[in-house]
Structure 1
Amino acid sequence: MTTGGGSIEIIYRIIDEENVTHAVFLPYLLHDAMRAKENSITIPACLKCIITFVERVPSKLLDFAVKTFQYLIIMYGTSETGTACGNIISFDTHYDPSSAQMMKCFPGYEIKITGSNDRVVTRGKEGHIQIRSFNVMVGYYMNPEATKEVKSENGWIKTGDNGVMNDEGLIQITGRVKNIISKGTTKICPKAIEDILLNHPKVDEVAVIGVPDPRLFQDICACVVPKSETQPSSKELEEFIVKGIIDERLSPKYYIFMRSFPRQGTGKIDKNKLTEKAMDILGLH
């Protein structure tokens, strides 16, 4: 069943009434569940396993889910490819936060990581994720040009996501290609900055985006939803993030505080609309 946009309290009530043991929670529902626990809302005892489909689970949400439920299953795929890889995480067995999001390719699928020249990169190097399987799409309906852009003649689908493959062939998603920030000659993955800021006690949600810069092409903007009316100052966040990063070039130039973020139908943050909103606020059009 689907929730129809119901609150976490309603979802928990249905789970309890129907004795649900396994549930699919997209990241925004994991976030709501974490906040509910902080507010002492009881989690149904029957709920043992959470399944989530995501590019990358923020470390704070990952830690909450693994320590709250018996199992967390992370899976990755696209509409064009189906679910291609995944990982089962249990806090009771071998939970290692550093490797928890490394996923194994499912039978019947092939995954490769390529560079800008479309050639496979060396293991451990970040690149573009491509997937091939008998299960991938034939093509976009009545749109051969769009199909040609993402599907090669030998069946490889360009997912639009970046990732890394280790020596054992496990895959970790690092972010969307289109969300990568180009600051001068530096390519910056927003997720790394978001993970740090999410650990600030006054931050509820954060989305890091690239905004126009006349000299560097883009600079970093952190959009923040505070936990309460008492929001952190920009200086407070600057000092906090400097402690968590190695490279000072990853420190945001702008901080914008919002009550909520625009979202897609799936609940994911709509970064295109968010970027437009941020540019309006900053006067960068």
Structure 2
Amino acid sequence: TVGRVMPHVEVKIVDPATGLTVERGTAGELCTRGYGVMLGYWDEPERTAEAIDAGRWMHTGDLAVMREDGYVRIVGRIKDMIIRGGENVYPREIEEFLHGHPKITDVQVVGVPDERYGEEVLACVIPRDPADPPTLEELTAFCRDRLAHYKIPRRLEVLDAFPMTVSGKVRKVELRERYGDGG
């Protein structure tokens, strides 16, 4: 969680498609406004308009859920969200689950194009033992009855390492580009 709303600050969670505030317990985009929110990007009105709406709400790009007690939990990024057959799939949820697989050291989940469903779930994994990586069948069996069927990865790529930025973050965009055409 990232905690509760601070005094003199407003927070709302909205449906990214409609902009309407969602009920507590429902994932949506985290928006905030108040004294600590930037006024805009210096000399960049277009970027400012993309980030801050007419009501002065800053759209963070973070997917979040607010609990009934007011605590907010970040569940991912909008640009990382996978839409598979009309269902919103949050890669972070699947990644956290797959970290429990005994053959996986690290995992990144991305959406790749699919003719039937729009996007499909791809798991890119770094195995604990490169000589004995998990198979797609093992991954599917591990997920079955524990994840919703539309969240189960339909594709698997076993990697030695993830592409990284200079600041040490995984370049999910590169994974989508690399494997989006079938590998």
TM-score of the pair, normalised by structure 1: 0.60
Amino acid across the alignment from 1:207 = Q
Structure 1 distance, partners of 2:166, 2:110, is 20
Change beyond 3 A, Cα 1:211–1:122: same
- Matching of residue 232 in structure 1 with residue 166 in structure 2: no
Quote how far apart the aligned CAs of 1:242 are: 1.3
Report the counterpart of residue 48 of structure 2 in structure 1: 147
Q: Quick one: higher RCO (CA 8 Å, sep 6+), 1 or 2?
A: 2
Report the counterpart of residue 272 of structure 1 in structure 2: 173
Greater alpha carbon shift after TM alignment, 230-239 vs 247-256? 230-239
Amino acid across the alignment from 1:110 = E
Q: 1:132–1:155: 8 Å Cα contact kept in structure 2?
A: yes
Structure 2 distance, partners of 1:279, 1:122, is 34
- Matching of residue 107 in structure 1 with residue 24 in structure 2: no
Q: 1:196–1:244: 8 Å Cα contact kept in structure 2?
A: no
Aligned pairs, number: 181
Q: How does 1:160-179 map to 2 (within 5 A)?
A: 160-179=61-80
Report the counterpart of residue 120 of structure 2 in structure 1: 219
Amino acid across the alignment from 1:105 = V
Quote how far apart the aligned CAs of 1:181 are: 0.7
Greater alpha carbon shift after TM alignment, 226-235 vs 155-164? 226-235
Amino acid across the alignment from 1:252 = P
Report the counterpart of residue 92 of structure 2 in structure 1: 191
Q: Alignment identity in percent? A: 34
Structure 1 distance, partners of 2:66, 2:108, is 25
Structure 2 distance, partners of 1:270, 1:141, is 27
Quote how far apart the aligned CAs of 1:105 are: 2.1
Greater alpha carbon shift after TM alignment, 226-235 vs 194-203? 226-235
Q: SS of 1:244's equivalent?
A: coil
Extract structure 1 runs of 4+ deviating beyond 6 A: none
Task: Give the RMSD, CA atoms, in angstroms.
Answer: 1.7
Amino acid across the alignment from 2:13 = I
Higher helix share: 1
Structure 1 distance, partners of 2:47, 2:30, is 18
Give CA deviations for 1:206-253 in whole Å, capped at 9, x if unaligned. 0111100112111111100112222122221111111421x2121111
Report the counterpart of residue 107 of structure 2 in structure 1: 206
Structure 1 distance, partners of 2:149, 2:18, is 30
Quote how far apart the aligned CAs of 1:195 are: 1.5
Report the counterpart of residue 36 of structure 2 in structure 1: 135
TM-score of the pair, normalised by structure 2: 0.91
Structure 2 distance, partners of 1:102, 1:139, is 23
- Matching of residue 256 in structure 1 with residue 157 in structure 2: yes
Greater alpha carbon shift after TM alignment, 262-271 vs 249-258? 262-271
Change beyond 3 A, Cα 1:198–1:276: same
- Matching of residue 242 in structure 1 with residue 144 in structure 2: yes
Gap regions ≥5 residues in structure 2:
none
Amino acid across the alignment from 2:31 = Q
Structure 2 distance, partners of 1:234, 1:103, is 37
